[in-house]
Structure 1
Amino acid sequence: MKRYLRQWLAFAKHLLAAHKGRPVALLVLLGLSVLNLSSEWPNDIARPAFLGTLDAAVPDTFKSARQLLFDQYQRRFPRIPSSEPVTIVAIDEDTLARMGQWPWPRNRLANLIDAIAAQHPLAIGLGIYMPEPDQTSPDKVAGNLPKTAAALAAGLRALPSHEALLARSLRAAPTILGAVGFENAAFTTSTGLRTVPISVHGPNPLQWVQRFSHVLASLPELQAAAHGQAMLSAPVEGGVIRRLPMVFGLGDKLVPSLPLEMLRLATGSSAIDVFADGAGVQGVGVADVTVPTQADGDIWLHFASIQATRNRYVSARDILAGKVDPERIRDKLVLVGLTGAGLADMRTTALGELVPGIEIQAQAMETVFEGRFLRRPVWLKWAESSFILVFGLLIIWYVPRTGSRRLAVFMRAVPKASAVLGIVLNLLLLSLSFLVFVRLGLLVDATSIFIVLSAVMSCFFSTNLLHADEKARPAATPTSAQGQGADAERAPAMAQAGPL
């Protein structure tokens, strides 16, 4: 076993030393470049079949590292809100303590919507879905009464149902109901959602956007009364929400996200525009507002700290009691969501903060309203890949040159110089990437550049270590030979002297 290990080590040393390490460095450069490009393969180019097998066999190191870097961009430079277009009416602990446990009877929710609508908001989005009838509705209670209470049951059935009361409130106010997508059917899911038309400019984007076969939505009676329906689903990557789709696929139909539908209702538009080409979705539009998206219809969320957005929360209890300043609601985009302990759908943002799910929707609305988008266009990936290849080839060509009187001499004289040089160059690149993020909102993947070019530089670092080791060995050999010659000369003399 040791012999085979020595043979493999000898082969590896020979391979690294061959042609001053250039073949190995070139192989590393090309291999890692393919892996990097595979993690973000463009839609407009057919993906080679072997990349699927490669992705399954090799952990997606580039994607994970890229996401961590993009999180660091935001943690160092979080968005500072410049306006407050969104107000969140929170069904919080205080509200539940006063008004009773959740779920509420639908007539109580209708009262909350009426109280919000009285302050004239631009739109009201409910981050709540109601797929089943209210069991506290008068007709449902009547059905559970004994036969001896027939007169009481008849009186209850004469009253409007809680769904009817809520539908009346939804119809009277600029309301939007939320829904969430499912991959498979469940007891309360359906396959349809009442949404406004979406006008597609270009190829059908269903092939690129996130798609669901089923949806958990409110009752058809409530959907018909509301002025819009929208999806609340947000993709989670490694336990963190970084992006939010602007449009989804539900079966063979395009449906909008809550931020997009809120914007449509607030502007009085009758439809939503989706712009696509051969590379995927390029943007979505409502009225005169166009939102640039990624190829899959997502936007990168530039998060503001929850500490900077706490002022947008008002308690539903205070709304019902009439204690909220009307300016907190008037001409605002109002979201109604659960924030009480054990009820809120808590999510982790790129800032590492745990926030209610309704906060994610509010952050997206602010991003659209302020027009401060984070972008990672397709051309940026090609620019990064080109930089890696060009700079990597320059390293492979220049570093091992024997005729160089500057950098290459320094690299050969100091075995660790390649590592030091690589770290310095990558720190400069990282600083430049942060600057581009702050100034232009572009997400530059400096980690992939760092990983690939560092791996290339490490090939020459290993080669230099081998050369240093080889130079050290001949120096020890003559000394040993001289010692053996001296012993040989002393042996005849000692033989002639005889025993002492």
Structure 2
Amino acid sequence: MKLLKDFKLSPKKVGFITTLLIFVIAFYHGPMQRISIINRLELMTLDFRFKIRGVEKLPEDVKIVAIDNDSIKKIGRWPWDRKIIAKLVDKLSAASASVITLDIIFSEPQISEESKLISNLIEKIKKENKGNQMKALIEDLKEKLKNLDSDQILAESFENAGNVILAMSMNPFSPEIKELDSDTLENLARSSYFLEEDEANLKEEIEPIEAKEVLIPLNKFMDTAYAVGNAEAVSTDIDGVVRKEWMIEKYMDALYPCLALWATMVHLNADIDQLKIIFGESVQLKDINIPIDERGRYLISYYGPQGTVPYYSAVDVLEGKIDSDTFKDKMVFVGYAATGLGDKWVTPFGIMFGVEKQATIAQNFLDRKFLVHPALAILYDLFSILLIGTILSFTLTKLSPSKSGFLALAVFILVIIIISSIFIYYNIWINMVFPLLTTASLYVSITSYRFLTEEKEKRKIRGAFQQYLSPSVVNEVTKDPSKLKLGGEEKPLTILFSDIRGFTSISEALTPVELVHLLNEYFNEMTYVITEQNGGTLDKFIGDAIMAFWGAPVEIENHAEKACLSALGMMEGLKKLREKWDKEGKPPVDIGIGINTGNVVVGNMGSDRRFDYTVMGDGVNLASRLEGINKTYGTNIIISEFTEKEIPEYFIRREVDLVRVKGKLKPVKIYELMGTTENENGLIEKASLFIEGIKLYEKRKWKEAKEIFKAVIEKYPNDGPSKVYIERCSAYEISPPPEDWDGVFVMTTK
């Protein structure tokens, strides 16, 4: 209990607590990826890395012959007569393709109408006992029937080619196991990998996924094809994207390689005996070590979006329009690439036909450039959390809020660059979410804590200065003691709020005595400008903030003009103070000022024993909100449309935005007060160019508006509003606002 009582929070301790919390979350998430939102975010960062890596130069080992829209348009709708497929296989075999992989499942016999007619005719002749008399005719009809047997012709083409791999579909999600008959299972088993020397290894690891049902080619096709591979070996992630492929799946105590793996074996003249599977480590094929996880899944390294692997139309191959050397010694995948035929998958680059996914995997094997997601990635996560957390806990607490923001952003970007570079140049997938989460969380938690302590310090200063009254109130009370009575009246006034930016950073850089001295100098200068130069009423000091108004207790007709002159005078006075403080080695001070004109209640507010002469009402709240808005737009003086209407033309101002401040429903047009025509210094040109951009922005011409704002930045690099609108236009170019957009920007902070 004593330890808890003595424990006091500090920005550094907040950083360490945040780091520890993220460490615990990462440890819980672990290799099992228990937290789905983190898993989804990590997968998004992986896709981001694929996209910034871009389209890679593809070796020409793999080709795709596509059953595409052009082929279907010329040959006819799918499915085609299998004699056409046989002709296609013959063409590719004649072109010396190293392996012909058909990503098509021929699971049902194909019987043409002509075959049905001849078969029926033979049966009819036999039934009418005309068999002996019509024996020659029957034999002739049987020969014709044989010539019409498309399945037999296709099977013969497989046998003649000698290097055809057929596709099958293995379904691990069937509700019950569906066994094949013994002859079919024996035929299928020719394409299987039986665990022998690796059986002990299998017991130590998680077993591979087991199919309960298979859809296989006809026996006559399996008899003549070289092998059958699993074409439905996709492992879909939580977000529906295919990033992994099952290298092997189990069915009836045997393991069956995926389609691409079988194609690679044939291309390399490797036998099934040369294949070795070490679960949780690799699939070994000759001198190729294909990395897999503990369940036998391979992480696909996509080369780019659909179309990266070259496609050749099947009809062009059949018509001899493709140079035969194109396929010589190449792996050829034949599959669907037409509208409505299905076999499409979502990849990090978008939708892709299944046949290109198969070709991509096979090319991965030949390239030997595999993506690796280290099994001990969790250790990197924990180390990065501790490293980043420790560094930022020490550094962020010593910097000003703006500098700490820049540091956090720099670390954030650096993490992205380093991890993305490792992915691009070394093909290693290192987790990105936890380092980024640590960076962002440390900045938010430490900055929030410092902001709260800043408010606490402001309250302390407010208590020290609240005894002071404005000189105008004192003078008015001296003339008429009845004004000490409680109550107020509604009058049109102009209210000004000002506030020092980054007060915490300034207070941390000075001793208490130096801070009080600096504030006294600042308040003296500001008070002089407000009260002595422009006849305003200094309402109160609120910490480092100043509240003043014009038009009461002494009525002033041009109160809006006086308030705006005060704001410009305050900035000029601050400029002189900054020059002095800079020579003294004191930190720079900047302020924001908000001005509004409107009807408010003014008078003595409080109790009979203690009261203040002050103003209240929505108009006062709006002025306060406008002061805070300066942070958003990078400005110093913001005035409302109600003030802008009341001031003379010699004030240079520009429209900044139409905003709905927090707590208000009705939007307000706001302006930046820039100066006067007496000291113009190019401000009119700057304002005119900016207004041109605003008009284009209001017409939803984002690109044109952005160019105007860029032109302003080019001439005036520190122009805050232009920077804000460049960001907005860029965002709206990607995601435009709704058609009923009224141009209002909603402020969510005070």
Q: What band does the TM-score fall into relative to the shorter chain? A: 0.7 to 0.9
Distance 1:61 1:177 in 2: 39
Distance 2:141 2:24 in 1: 70
Distance 1:425 1:371 in 2: 33
* Per-residue deviation, 1:417: 4.5
* Per-residue deviation, 1:447: 2.4
Distance 2:467 2:123 in 1: 115
Distance 2:381 2:202 in 1: 29
8 A contact 2:388–2:438 mirrored in 1: no
* Per-residue deviation, 1:21: 5.5
Aligned equivalent of 1:166: 154
**Structure 2 residue 366 is matched with structure 1 residue 369:** yes
Q: Which amino acid aligns with 1:269?
A: A
**Structure 2 residue 243 is matched with structure 1 residue 255:** no
**Structure 2 residue 137 is matched with structure 1 residue 135:** no
Structure 1 residue runs of 5 or longer lacking an equivalent are 1-13, 43-50, 400-406, 496-500
TM alignment of 1:83-102, pairs within 5 A: 83-102=59-78
Structure 2 residue runs of 5 or longer lacking an equivalent are 127-133, 483-750
The 1:479–1:81 alpha-carbon spacing in structure 2 relative to 1, beyond 3 Å, is: closer
* Per-residue deviation, 1:261: 0.6
* Per-residue deviation, 1:293: 2.6
Distance 2:313 2:366 in 1: 24
Identity of aligned residues (%): 21
The 1:185–1:433 alpha-carbon spacing in structure 2 relative to 1, beyond 3 Å, is: closer
The 1:197–1:210 alpha-carbon spacing in structure 2 relative to 1, beyond 3 Å, is: closer
Distance 2:202 2:160 in 1: 35
8 A contact 2:178–2:212 mirrored in 1: no
TM-score, normalising length: structure 2: 0.54
* Per-residue deviation, 1:292: 2.1
Aligned equivalent of 2:686: none
Secondary structure, counterpart of 2:235 in structure 1: coil
8 A contact 2:168–2:216 mirrored in 1: yes
Q: 1:472 aligns with which of 458, 477, 485?
A: 458
8 A contact 1:190–1:217 mirrored in 2: no
Question: Rg: which structure is higher?
Answer: 2
Distance 1:421 1:337 in 2: 52
Deviation string 1:350-387 (CA, Å, 9 cap, x unpaired) is 123x3321001111111111122221112344223222
Deviation string 1:393-441 (CA, Å, 9 cap, x unpaired) is 4544x35xxxxxxx6432xxx3454443222112111111122122211
Distance 2:29 2:56 in 1: 31
TM alignment of 1:4-153, pairs within 5 A: 18-20=8-10, 25-26=15-16, 28-39=18-29, 41=31, 55=34, 60-136=36-112, 140-142=116-118
Secondary structure, counterpart of 1:204 in structure 2: helix
TM alignment of 1:387-426, pairs within 5 A: 387-396=384-393, 398=394, 408-410=397-399, 414-426=400-412
Distance 1:478 1:35 in 2: 45
* Per-residue deviation, 1:456: 3.1
Aligned equivalent of 1:46: none
8 A contact 1:142–1:153 mirrored in 2: no
Distance 1:209 1:254 in 2: 9
Secondary structure, counterpart of 2:280 in structure 1: strand
Distance 2:468 2:260 in 1: 85
* Per-residue deviation, 1:149: 7.1
Distance 2:15 2:120 in 1: 78
TM-score, normalising length: structure 1: 0.78
8 A contact 2:11–2:397 mirrored in 1: no
Q: Once superposed, what is the RMSD of the aligned Cα atoms?
A: 3.5
8 A contact 1:283–1:292 mirrored in 2: yes
Q: Which amino acid aligns with 1:65?
A: L
Which stretch shifts more, 218-227 or 171-180? 218-227
Q: Which amino acid aligns with 2:70?
A: D
Aligned equivalent of 2:166: 177
Secondary structure, counterpart of 1:444 in structure 2: coil
Q: Which amino acid aligns with 1:163?
A: D
Aligned equivalent of 1:268: 269
Q: 1:463 aligns with which of 446, 449, 454?
A: 449
* Per-residue deviation, 1:482: 5.5
Matched positions, count: 447
* Per-residue deviation, 1:146: 10
Please identify which structure carries the higher strand content.
2
Which stretch shifts more, 17-26 or 27-36? 17-26
8 A contact 2:68–2:336 mirrored in 1: yes
Secondary structure, counterpart of 1:207 in structure 2: coil
Distance 1:89 1:153 in 2: 40
Deviation string 1:227-283 (CA, Å, 9 cap, x unpaired) is 11111222233243222232223354321111211111222322253443xxx5211
8 A contact 1:128–1:337 mirrored in 2: yes
8 A contact 1:263–1:286 mirrored in 2: no
Deviation string 1:67-124 (CA, Å, 9 cap, x unpaired) is 1111121211135234211111112222223322211233332222122112221111
The 1:325–1:464 alpha-carbon spacing in structure 2 relative to 1, beyond 3 Å, is: same
8 A contact 2:193–2:254 mirrored in 1: no
* Per-residue deviation, 1:477: 2.1
Aligned equivalent of 1:218: 217
Aligned equivalent of 1:325: 323
8 A contact 1:275–1:284 mirrored in 2: yes
Distance 2:219 2:15 in 1: 63
The 1:250–1:137 alpha-carbon spacing in structure 2 relative to 1, beyond 3 Å, is: farther
Distance 1:343 1:479 in 2: 79
Deviation string 1:34-88 (CA, Å, 9 cap, x unpaired) is 443555516xxxxxxxx9xxx4xx5x22211211111121211135234211111
The 1:394–1:328 alpha-carbon spacing in structure 2 relative to 1, beyond 3 Å, is: same
Tell me: higher relative CO, structure 1 or 2? Use CA pairs within 8 A at least 6 residues apart. 1
Distance 1:394 1:363 in 2: 42
Secondary structure, counterpart of 1:249 in structure 2: strand
Distance 1:478 1:282 in 2: 70
Distance 2:435 2:306 in 1: 34
